Amino acid sequence: MTTEVGSETEVRKEPEKAEEQPAAPESEPAATNQTDEAKAAEQSANDHPAPATDSAEAPAEAKEKQEEAQPADNATPQEGEDTPASPPASEKKGISRFLPPWLKKQKSQSQVGPKESQAAPKEEAGVASVKEEDGEKGEQAEAEQTSSPTAAQPQVEEEKINGEPKPEQKEEVKSEEKEEENHSTGSADTQPAKEEKAAEESQEKSAAEEENKEAEEGGEEKKDEEESPKPEGGHSFIKSPLKLTKKVKMVMCHVTMLDGSQFPCEVEKRAKGQYLFFKVYEALNLLEKDYFGLSYKDNADQTCWLDPTKEIKRQIRNATWQFAFNVKFYPPDPSQLTEDITRYLLCLQLRQDIVSGRLPCSFVTHSLLGSYALQAELGDHDSGEHRLDYISDFQFAPSQTKEMEEKVVELHKTHRGMTPAQADAQFLENAKKLSMYGVDLHHAKDSEGVDIMLGVCANGLLIYKDRLRINRFAWPKILKISYKRSNFYIKIRPGETEQFESSVGFKLPNHRAAKRVWKVCVENHTFFRLMTPEAPIKAKFLTLGSKFRYSGRTQAQTRQASTLIDRPAPYFERTSSKRISRSLDGAPMINVTEAQESAPTSWENGREPGLELSSDSKSGRLRVQGENIYVRHSNLMLEDLDKTQEDVLKHQASISELKRSFMEATPEPRPSQWEKRLTASPATSLRLQAQGRCPPSRTQEPLPDLTVDTVAKSADDKQKSGEAAWQAAEVEIEETVVVEEIRVAPKGSVTITTPEVITHVAVESEVEKPKDEVMEEQKRPVSVSSDSEEEEEEEAGEYHPQVTVSASVDQIKEEPEEEGEEEEEQQVNEEPAAEPLPEPVVEVKAQPVPAVVEENSATEPQLAPVAEESPEDILVTPDEAPNGHAESPEGHPGPVALEEEEEEEEPRVNGDASHSETERLPQVICCSEPPVVKTEMVTISDTFAAQKTEIATKEVPIVHTETKTITYEAAQLDGSGDGEPGVLMTAQTITSESLCTTTTTHITKTLKGGLSETRIEKRIVITGDSDIDHDQALAQAIKEAKEQHPDMSVTRVVVHKETELAEEGED
Amino acid sequence: MAGVMADFGNFTHAVVRAIPSSLAKEALRMNVSDVDLEKAQREHEVYVGVLKQKLGLEVIELPADESLPDCVFVEDAAVVCGDTALITRPGAESRRKETAAIRQILKELGLNIVDMSDENATLDGGDVLFTGREFFVGLSKRTNQRGAEILADAFKDYAVSTVPVTDGLHLKSFCSMGGPGLIVIGSSEPAQKALKIMQQMSDHRYDKLTVPDDIAANTIYMNLPGKGHVLLHCTPEEFPESAKVFEKLKDHMLIPVSNMEKVKVDGALTCCSVLINMKAKV
């Protein structure tokens, strides 16, 4: 609400309190310190535990005043924002949220004091923080209220952000939501105002926030929260009756444009980034603006992106109002840009990148790109006019040689006739292929303290050591992105042969760096992978941590918008590239090469020089293990993005066809596509287990609201409630794929051994791709959040890139802050932008898989360690637990409740997975390298004698394979089996894969003459190089089957061995 | 020039080297085996003949050096991409001197020579798989991280990813490019694993062609004007099953080339030549 006057800083620091109190009384004099006034008002409001409504009204007035006053003269906006968030602040926040509104109010009073003044009771502090936010919102709301009538906001977003806390907040959660709604509606109502007004509003908001932040050194965290356009209840209450004089402080911004020129722009001191953005875009006449951003250097000389939704002043803190206009998201295919001017700007950026060394090129490429740049700027080479020295003014490379210049000229001559636009296009066509194109590098260390670079780009996260790419995590592969303290984590989706997620942790030089990487990741992921930006997190309940989300348009959206561009190509002047060299300083550049040398120096917060990953263990979660760094994911990532970029080669078709039809000599039997889809489900459950998360059986009802409410009730114990809320919030809709075959099973038995299943599927990219997608879809719900939450005292920032949009529930982790550092968690719903979702061939049903989870934990204790989360985290729902091991004593004819049976069966399935000794291997880089020569299949089926005839294993023989089948039939036969088919009640197939084994379990329940019969058929495919002892495998299989289903009888076992003929000697 | 990363597989020149008689006894090998020198030399002549006559490349034949029993495997001595030639520092001490002659000739051809002078670096060309869009460098007995770094430095346009090679001599002992975006890969587990790593590490999508025999996955792909896709691969005599697989590549001109003897000293098809595209020179 309040604009910070120049004196604000002073006032805030200490005088705040003084002013605060006085402020309330001083209704009008506050012209200078609007913020203070606002605070005071808030305080006053707080002081009076009176109902919010009253306060709200008053504040509105204040807001108006404040708004006007905002723009006041704070020429030097140096606020404590820069300072790292102080732990207390965070704590405050956490606590405050739990506190009832009135408490908050009281606290809010304290807020002001504590922030800058220092000592405030924790609770108060906490409240204060809340207030801060609330206050901000409230202020904003006020502003909106006041302003809305008068000034319309140009952008709805802003309004939303500003959230109006009008409604009384009975329950924080509800109120918040309502607020948001209100905001949105309000915003909608508002007419397109001038940005200035919006800016003012924002400023107001921000001002309040700023104060808070300042007080808290942990400003960053708060910022995030603040930034996040989440309306927080309670603010409305705090309306200061103060009247503010209307003073608008203007500040002169200098923006370095891509051509090196300076763009001066006067903005209100409280203006949001958006305003400046707009001014710049406007000046450039740029429509495809979403690829661009404004950057600034923070105090540590690190380049940061200006958040459009936040107040500028709060972001740059003490830094100068100097910005650079840069490309933020490098379009993977610049030819898809609509306008030449956009491409031109991209060219300018790339030329900067090249000259700065940020985009390394070979000599030839430097020359070629330089020649296109020349052509674009100068036109055709004129031998008369252009002497060799005409070129020396241009810079083409970090270090330019005469030889290169000659080459450039030589090439320039060959571009004769090329228009500037064509030259730009050619420039981009070549530049986009460079491996470092659009890669945003960040110094980091791996778990072993080795210097590496994290490269964030359109496709995902790249890991470099020196100049070498040592790992790559494509966005679809990443489940969660988070940071905590100075650590940055990604959670990796398990590969096709892996059972568990893995986390990889990186150590950044400091907390801010970690957060910066996190934000960049969130933004890039959202921009390139999602159709629409993720809705800002609603403060459902007790929200801590950063709510930061990318709020701009995604690439998909901007492309769509671009199609609507209907204007004559705007005229723009291509300015001399000579300037470029001057402007370089502004360009954020990190050279991979430099990484090593410079990296060490930057580790600021020396506190945790070593990897403090261990600290995580406190919370009972064994998080990032050193080994994880090198986790290899055998799962192939096939991104659609590549498709578009890659030329579709004709031969591909033929090749793929050939693949399908033919060879794919890979002897290992692969599940068919159909089967693969099923595969996901067990995997998911396994994962859950690993994480110790209890997949609540109520998964089917994703009623976050309800849970929230319940939680709210117990608000007393904040932490506990927090956790509870957590879990509630996290209740993820786990989708287990259950295939219901509503057919009457022939002979009452269902055999999985349909040729379909067994068929070798040449796993070519084509096949895999869909699979991959399926996996993503089904697995996505796995939320990692449980790890950090529990007893973690620190806020964590998390971002869960999830593939499916619909069902996914945003998980907001709330953790009481300890050190004022945030960890932000965010679940990203990823709608694979360009990726066609797999056809919904399989019906996905939400199914409670809890049983499975527990079962697994029991049967496969060895797997647990692999999981990052310690078993302690496992929350077992009462109902679930029992089921885990319980294997219903109903073998075949047992009249057992179908449900129970199912549950029992699932666990078994997973239990089988334990056969595979190699399960962990996939996660280790150096895996065993057994040649995939021999394949052995063990089929245990409960089929009846009648089915004997059915050959369980229809392994499609491969040319060079020899097969061997051993069948074991149990003497006992179920007489009833054959004749009456019975009625098939349920059937489900579950497949789990590990490196060397694939277990497919098919469970059917049939109703025969009043008896329900359950058959479990398992297909275990073991792939390995070593000679497998058939007999032993058989015995083992039978043994295990009996152990797992003591109440059932093994009726048939088929061992099918497939061995690849001796290979020709190779070395 | 055609621009960055164009013309994959388009070669104009090839550098080969004759087989020294010392190869039979002294050449390094992973498995004990007796090499029929004459047979090997005949094989090599056929190989060179294919490059020269059948494909019309300008073949530069270097004389053998008896003191360098492995000198026929010129691939290990240099990595040429575009107009830049990285002269390697072979992992096997006994082969270090092989680079001199190669360096000389490549320099004469006008390539930009980059030397690997770091004493700690080793790199065999056989560990370098260039896909047209990026490099994969096998970290093997012969190639280390430092060597890969220097390669990355030499070819800045391209991503260079490392792939652990736990089995076999070189990365290309079980894989090679069979066309643009097509990786021919052996079916052994190490090979498959390496492929998965490569696929994970890459921003690009690769098709794969799996052949039953690892060594048969070492092929030479070219895209020559007037000839289109050309693939030199194993003969049916050597690897009947694998040879059948190649026959499925309808768009390729398939040229089976025998390599029975050289393979005994771990020489694959690609090992025996350094291919260069002089047109790529800017």
Selection from B75, B82, B108 nearest residue B281 by Cα? B82
Question: What is the chain B residue with the closest CA to A460?
Answer: B203
Task: Answer yes or no: is pLDDT of A886 > 90.
Answer: no
- Residues B234-251, mean pLDDT to the nearest whole number: 91
Q: A639-657 pLDDT, tens per residue?
A: 333 333 333 344 444 444 4
Collect all residues of chain A within an 8 Å Cβ-Cβ radius of residue B250. 654, 658
Give the three-state DSSP class for A545: coil
Question: What is the chain A residue with the closest CA to B150?
Answer: A467
Selection from B61, B2, B7, B4 nearest residue B221 by Cα? B7
- Read off the amino acid at residue A85: A
Alpha-carbon Rg for chain B in angstroms: 17
Task: Answer yes or no: is pLDDT of A92 > 70.
Answer: no
Taking an 8 Å cut-off on Cβ atoms, the answer to whether B197 and A632 are in contact is yes
| B59 annotated binding-site participant | no
Q: What interhelical angle do A172-189 and A704-713 show, nearest 10? A: 130
Of chain A, the percentage scoring pLDDT greater than 90 comes to 13
For B258, the token pair is 């025998």
pLDDT for the residue numbered A439:
94
Taking an 8 Å cut-off on Cβ atoms, the answer to whether B200 and A468 are in contact is no
Q: A165-194 pLDDT, tens per residue?
A: 444 433 443 434 344 444 433 333 334 434
Task: Answer yes or no: is pLDDT of A615 > 90.
Answer: no
Q: B164-182 pLDDT, tens per residue?
A: 998 888 999 999 999 999 9
Q: A334-348 pLDDT, tens per residue?
A: 999 988 999 999 999
Distance from CA of A362 to the nearest CA of B (A): 5
* Block residue for tokens 């006894």: B25
Selection from A544, A537, A471 nearest residue A797 by Cα? A544
Task: Answer yes or no: is pLDDT of A236 > 60.
Answer: no
Task: Answer yes or no: is pLDDT of A632 > 70.
Answer: no
Q: How confident is the model at residue A867 (pLDDT cuts 50, 70, 90)?
A: very low
pLDDT for the residue numbered A260:
86
Q: How confident is the model at residue A815 (pLDDT cuts 50, 70, 90)?
A: very low
Taking an 8 Å cut-off on Cβ atoms, the answer to whether B166 and A929 are in contact is yes
pLDDT for the residue numbered A358:
92
Whether A345 contacts A257, CB under 8 Å? no
* Block residue for tokens 């033919």: A662
Of chain A, the percentage scoring pLDDT greater than 70 comes to 29
Does the global pTM surpass 0.80?
no
Question: Mean pLDDT of all residues in chain B?
Answer: 91
Taking an 8 Å cut-off on Cβ atoms, the answer to whether A931 and B189 are in contact is yes
Collect all residues of chain B within an 8 Å Cβ-Cβ radius of residue A930. 189
pLDDT for the residue numbered A521:
93
Q: B63-79 pLDDT, tens per residue?
A: 999 999 999 999 999 99
Q: A271-298 pLDDT, tens per residue?
A: 888 889 888 988 888 888 899 999 988 8
Of chain B, the percentage scoring pLDDT greater than 90 comes to 78
- Read off the amino acid at residue A141: A
Whether A135 contacts A108, CB under 8 Å? yes
Task: Answer yes or no: is pLDDT of A964 > 60.
Answer: no
Task: Closest CB to A663: pick one of B239, B245, B282.
Answer: B245
Alpha-carbon B74 to chain mean position: 9
Task: Answer yes or no: is pLDDT of A3 > 80.
Answer: no
Task: Answer yes or no: is pLDDT of A824 > 90.
Answer: no
DSSP H helices in A482-585: 511-529, 555-563, 578-583
Rounded Cα–Cα distance for residues A737 and A684 (Å):
10
Q: A920-929 pLDDT, tens per residue?
A: 333 333 333 3
Taking an 8 Å cut-off on Cβ atoms, the answer to whether B201 and A469 are in contact is yes
Task: Answer yes or no: is pLDDT of A984 > 80.
Answer: no
Question: What is the chain A residue with the closest CA to B83?
Answer: A364
